Amino acid sequence: MTTEQDDKATDGHRHWFRRNPALNLTYRIGVGVVGGLVLVAGVLMIPYPGPGWLVVFAGLAILATEFEWAGRVLRFAKRYYDAWVEWLKRQNMVVKALVLAATGLVVAVTCWLLGAFALVGGWFGLDWPWLASPIFK
């Protein structure tokens, strides 16, 4: 196989975009926008129950298809995430409970700031002032 055939075999559809500078730039911008949006969504989801870190890694993986720096950040983040999980596994129940409580506090404060407590309280006829969001008064 020639080098060009090797490139086509390994790059899939990318060889077609690389031949045209305008299409290549458009493709890279598209990958950057989609990957960036997925990454930001993942970062916002991190403190909440669910797939926050998975979405962060997915966003970085999307970006890494076109940007070498994203691949380096992905490897760095995965290494430190794995180290955090291993560290947390080794901790006693008190530390695990404190981490869980801190996570719960972040979720509760965010729900309060976004007005979720006032919304649910309204369903039950509770008009307590402290349930209202300080942001959405």
Q: Residue 48 has which token pair? A: 């909440």
The per-residue pLDDT for 1 is: 42
More confident residue, 77 or 17: 77
Contacts of the segment 65-74: beta carbons below 8 A, 24+ positions apart: 65/31, 65/35, 66/27, 66/28, 66/31, 66/32, 66/35, 67/28, 67/31, 67/32, 70/35
Contacts of the segment 70-79: beta carbons below 8 A, 24+ positions apart: 70/35
Instruction: List pLDDT tens digits, range 63-101.
Output: 999 999 999 999 999 999 999 999 999 999 999 999 999
The per-residue pLDDT for 3 is: 45
The per-residue pLDDT for 23 is: 86
